[in-house]
Amino acid sequence: MEGMCHLPGGTFTMGSERFYPEERPRRRVSVDAFWIDATPVTNREFAKFVAETGHKTVAEFPPNPADYPGMKPELARPGSVVFQRTRGPVDLNDFNQWWQFRPGASWHRPLGERSSARALDDHPVVHVAYADAEAYAAWAGKALPTEAEWEYAAKGGLEDAEFAWGDELAPQGKMLANYWQGEFPWANRLLDGFERTSPVRTYPPNGYGLYDMIGNVWEWTSDWFSLPTAAEGCCAIPNPRVTDPAGSFDPHSHVRIPRKVLKGGSHLCAENYCQRYRPAARSPQMVETSTSHIGFRCVVRG
């Protein structure tokens, strides 16, 4: 299939014990054969979808205040969340220091009302909520990957490596993905050459011929977020799928919107914050939320 790579399927070890609790325990998982996009969906590809369908993204509609108790009235307008570098070190527990809701921000105006994606045709599309990714996949005759499929693909055939290329983040100083070099969120050394997203295929592919499985943009998967469990006995879990949203809500938030699993990390992952530029890394994301660092890619099973 054009623009896709075929993976034969197999059994692999999912998760990691070395980094974040939500990645544990390591467990044996199997997936069937499938095709997967060689790159994240680009602005060029998403624009074709919009031109043919007239699709309006979630960011292009005002949010429902009923979904966000206590939301400020000025935020009840179309827009999305954009990263803004801080002027100096800040409390890393307060993400409001670097995330800013910008009216008018959307996939074709990635930095706000006066910006444009015209020069970003080959960059991953961003500011797409889960419903937008799902709509694109249906239009393309594809689907969004399960978390297990995504992680299997990201590993590129390497069973126990922490990164998609081995165990060293920047072997011999070589940048192999778009991530933050320096002290997040204020001092980016730009060793990879990019402040924000980068064109797909900028960095070498992994062992399966897939680009940007690590860094650049987070990617939606079809699984609801939950904490993993170990397999019972010696058998591998066949392509585990979390299809019930009941356990996906954030227990620490008053906002009752279920969350899907994001994979891959983004250009904002750094050694001092969010070391999630790894196949095993995962993050929960509310399905109605779009940001300047979330995109997606698709699969076809069989």
pLDDT at 234: 56
Residues 6+ apart with CB under 8 A from 148: 14, 29, 31, 237, 239, 240, 241
**pLDDT of 228:** 84
Tokens (6 digits) for 8: 């034969």
| 292, 105 contact by CB (below 8 A) | yes
Which residue stretches of 72-173 are H helix?
A: 130-139, 147-155
Cβ pair 260, 223 in contact under 8 A: yes
Q: Give pLDDT, residue 66.
A: 80
Q: pLDDT at position 74, please? A: 74
Looking up tokens 């609801």 gives 224
Distance between CA atoms of 225 and 249, rounded to whole angstroms? 8
This prediction has a pTM of 0.94
Question: What is the distance between the alpha carbons of residues 145 and 298, in angstroms, rounded to a whole number?
Answer: 6
> Contact 272/183 with Cβ under 8 angstroms?
yes
Pairing of strands 294-295, 218-224: parallel
Only one residue has tokens 């993400």, namely 95
Give the number of domains in the chain: 1
- Can you name the residues that pair with 31 across neighbouring β-strands? 10
Residue 156: domain span? 4-301
Can you list the residues of the chain whose pLDDT is less than 70? 230-235
Q: Is 274 left (phi over 0), alpha (psi -120 to 50) or beta?
A: left
In order of 180, 189, 287, the CA distances from 260 in angstroms are 24, 32, 6
CATH number at residue 29: 3.90.1580.10
